Amino acid sequence: MADSATAWVLHVDLDQFIAAVEVLRHPELVGKPVVVGGRGDPTKRAVVSTASYEARAFGVGSGMPLRIAARKIPDAVFLPVDAPAYTAASEEVMATLRAFPGATVQVLGWDEAFVGVRTVDPEATANEIRAAVLKRTRLHCSVGIGDTLVRAKNATDLGKPRGVFRLTRENWLDVLGDRPTRDLWGIGPKISQRLATLGIRTVAELAAAEDQVLAAEFGPKMGPWYGSLGRGDGAAVVDDTPWVARGHSRETTFQQDLTERTAIEQAARDMIAPVLDDIAAEGRPVVGVGLKVRYAPFTTKTFVHKVAATTDRAVVTAEIMALVERIEPERAIRLLGVRADMAMPDGAREGHTPTRGGW
């Protein structure tokens, strides 16, 4: 009874993570506009992974084509994506979080995680975490505090950079009520547009919308789910059960569109190998395969096929190559993707949301 601490959800999010990692090992880049994306060549087809705050001041941000970024900042520093370096930095950050006494850590990506804690002063705990991460990794982060996962996640942006912000049932609508629904995690451009056709434009309007109305437009699960996002409701307990991948894939956008059948087949074979390596590393059988093809300029088709459980690389390869046969040979190919899905073990964590499996 002496313990008056209560359970809180913290959302820890590194500031400009990828750019920050690059600046750490290239100290001469401090204060410069740094743009990380693709192979670091702004004349190629690729997009920005992360831009430093200096680059963002010029209007460059994630998802923007590198060509456009180069036009906006001709003398920016362009760097290639170095996934192993970011994975290593990420593991240091996550280890720091897990070392926190009593913390439950649920990783969401390279640069963010939910942390469940019991504390009387969540702001103090958040700042202790920020200090610990900075000390061990020299990386700055921001922390959102919430009484649910959704509220903690939405709070983080309000604290950025290098800050802390708290969102609870009490202040949720005061802070976010007048904002567009697009600002919410899980509401993208398409859904916010469809919501607008129902007369729902703000977070407060979404929070007040009836499940029945939302279900009629978006389906029995997604409709009510969007309503709960508007209220910030949902899970309040951080779940650190290990995540089990559903499948693995590779996809490639060609610098020049492919038109030759043999070139397409060779590209597919080249992409299958690393997928099979990923799957072999998990030691689980393949139960489905898929193929994605983008016909230039921008029409995407997918083909999927269930297969009897197998660990035989030749069988999986043959199944995918059979899908390749369905590509229309007379059309130019801009993108090719191959995928394999694995059998799920008993007791694996269920996905809870459409946004991302596992939270």
- What number of CA atoms fall less than 13 Å from residue 33's CA on the CB side? 16
How big, in percent rounded to 5, are the helix, strand and coil portions of the chain? 40, 25, 35
Residue 347: CB minimum distance to DNA, A: 14
298 exposure class (CB count in 10 Å sphere: 0-12, 13-18, 19+)? exposed
> 166 or 339: whose CB is closer to DNA?
339
Residue 147 structure tokens: 């009484």
Smallest Cα–Cα separation from 338: which of 257, 259, 248?
Answer: 248
Region of 114-122, 168-176, 241-249, 311-319 interacting with DNA (CB under 7 A): 241-249
45 binds DNA (CB under 7 A): yes
| Rounded Cα distance, 228 and 237, in Å | 16
Residue choice 31, 59, 61, 188 for contact with DNA (CB under 7 A): 188
322 binds DNA (CB under 7 A): no
221 binds DNA (CB under 7 A): yes
| Rounded Cα distance, 267 and 294, in Å | 14
Region of 126-134, 139-147, 165-173, 296-304 interacting with DNA (CB under 7 A): 296-304
CB 163 within 8 A of CB 142: yes
| For residue 285, cis peptide bond before it (omega within 30 degrees of 0) | no
> 45 or 331: whose CB is closer to DNA?
45
Smallest Cα–Cα separation from 112: which of 160, 153, 74, 162?
Answer: 153
148 binds DNA (CB under 7 A): no
Sheet bearing 50-51, strands edge to edge:
50-51, 34-36, 77-79
Q: How many CB atoms lie within 10 A of CB 309?
A: 12
> 282 or 312: whose CB is closer to DNA?
282
Residue choice 23, 105, 108, 286 for contact with DNA (CB under 7 A): 108
58 binds DNA (CB under 7 A): no
Residue choice 102, 220, 273, 332 for contact with DNA (CB under 7 A): 220
128 is catalytic: no
Which residue of the set 54, 112, 205, 319 is catalytic? 112
> 26 or 356: whose CB is closer to DNA?
356
- The residues that are catalytic are 112
What residue ranges bind DNA (CB under 7 A)? 38, 45-47, 49, 62-63, 65, 67-68, 71, 108-112, 184-192, 218-223, 245-253, 278, 288, 297-298, 300-306, 335, 337, 350-351, 353-358
